[in-house]
Amino acid sequence: MSKILHLNRHSQIVHRLARGGVQEAIWAEILEIMWSSGHWPSPQKDLHPTCLMCGRLVCGPHKQMVQQLPSRPLRRLADESPVLKVNPDRLCRRISDPWMLEDAPVVRHCFWDPEDSESLRVSVKQVGYLGWDAVREHLESFSVQKTAEQCQSHWRELVNAEHDGTTQNTLRALENRSLGERWKRRDDSISAEMDAMMEETEVENVETDLGSGLILWCPLLACYLSPESSLARPPASLLPEQIQEDFLVGLSAFFRTPLVDRTGLLNQECSLRLAVLDPIPDMDEAFSKDLATIMDQRAESLLSLAAASNCKVEVLWSGGIDSTSLLIAFLRALQPHWRPGEGEGRCRGTLDPQGSDRMIVRCSADSIAEYPWFHEQVLLKLQGAGAIDLEPLADSEEVTALWEGPASRLTVTGECGDQIFGSQLLEAAFVKSELHAIYEQGLDAPWQETLLPCLLEMGVVRPDQKERWLAWFLPFVDRCPVKISTTFDLLWWLNLACKWQTVCLRLFQRRPSLSWADLKRIVHFFQTEDFQQWSFRPEHHAAKMPDHQRWSSYKQPLKEYIFEYTQDTNYFEHKLKAGSLCQVNDASQFVIMGVDDQLNIIRFGETCLSKRQMERMYPNDGLRKAFWKSREIEAQAERVV
């Protein structure tokens, strides 16, 4: 091999290879993994081999490779057109503190040394879901004597310091989950895979009956299956071209999420065969239900389903708008005669003490921080009366392991709420980012003057491909039951039609096997046709965010539903959309390339970095025959020739 290796991480393995005794095929495969994982020098100037594996496009070790890359053009093609500018922090920015932590009326002149602060973090993570008195008692086990009010005040100071960027982010970090540890874990995974390869003498091919299309996919899979992929051109170096040549891959790069168009129109020219599980419904002109009715009926139907299955309903509450509104729907059904109120004796109505037999609310310290009033005035009071059970949800390790939970529970999430009402990308109109046109022109501007310029500037769409891209995209725009004119309209429609399926399945992408029963045990509250039909009505579409100049008006109908129950003016007027799953650490070391419509998990090796391991796991061109469109193979083969 004439290339010079960077020996910064895997020098021991390289030395073992240099001593000889390793088969040439194993040699080549280990070198391929090194290159594909970023341990070779860049094959071209300013091109990191994994420069475009950002956000949710890929999982596990791949994602960590680029987590701190700066926002800049990472490469230009031969004609000087730019290739996707990466800004991994884009979707994590907030206009202001989204938790709206009010100032607590307590004495703030209380000294906390670093060890006491760390003890507070531990206590909040372990017992914070029970309230600040429980945190105070837990702190006493560390010999720290503080009042509940002082604990609450200092916790808010720590949270605000992290949001301001003045301290290292540790509140959401698990033990051994720092970025440095995650890099180390990634390297350890790659090293372990290389070690295993050097020890093996013969690899047995595994036959797998694959489905006819992918329901969840990674854009890198298209690069692995491309006839152009080779040791000379590993998948990572093919991704820039794939983003610009395959428009759906490019749009997925823009959204930081693999998309599946539920209308089927955008999937037709994708180089991968995709399968739609939940096609977008046609508009029902006779539909007339209001949102409150849909919310109440959905909660009642899920309670009935749980009762028929002899299950308890388990609600995952983040403190955000979606999960708070659905939790209130369940509380309205279980406790129809009770409403919250501040202070002792100010709650209204009577409670059914048997409610805890039917519902469990799981929440974390972050849930409480996002909506402390609701936790204190609603959940703790209901728990104290025996009306609900409260259980901790400590970190993402538990979130990603929900599918292992007891069959005696029906888990309910707030997924698909964002798809019904709009998109997280609407935030770009209020926060400066690389989406300059959206920020400068706003959500009421024609989408052709905002979204398309962003795609061109970021290198997702090449200027010479603009007309072909529009010919591909406009039929999808015309398919919408609501007339698409503005940036708001289009971002909502893309989210509803194309991101829906990935959102419904993302909790299941970290496991070695999957069954249809698993998918039924976790229910997404907003994943119904009624919610979609509601969103199609023009008057409801206008109400989703009545003031496009004010970010806090996003999801106004849900906030009105919450306010009717809580009478909490502060939350109603000021609460901002804040992502929940993106706030927790990725506790998984599991890497996949996709899931097909037979629920086969597509993966090879430990890190999905070796094309040779892919070919051994799926012999006889199995993956390409199942999921790569032959006409694209022929077209690419002609380009190679």
What are the tens digits of pLDDT across the range 313-339? Answer: 999 998 999 999 999 999 999 999 899
Output phi, psi for 594, to 5 deg: 160, 175
Question: Rounded CA gap, 309 and 199, in Å?
Answer: 49
DSSP conformation letters of 325-342:
HHHHHHHHHH-TT-B--S
Angle between helices 24-36 and 11-18 (to 10 degrees): 160
The residues, any chain, with a CB within 8 Å of residue 578's CB and separated by 6 or more, are: 94, 98, 99, 320, 370
pTM: 0.78
- State the amino acid at position 108 in one-letter form: R
Query: Which portions of the chain are predicted below pLDDT 50?
Result: 1-9, 39-108, 163-180, 182, 201, 345, 396, 582-588, 632-634, 636-641
pLDDT value of residue 351? 75
Dig out the tokens for 458 from the structure: 């970021």
Question: Rounded CA gap, 378 and 328, in Å?
Answer: 10
pLDDT value of residue 333? 95
The residues with which 493 forms a beta bridge, in sequence order, are none
Question: Rounded CA gap, 270 and 246, in Å?
Answer: 6
pLDDT value of residue 402? 62
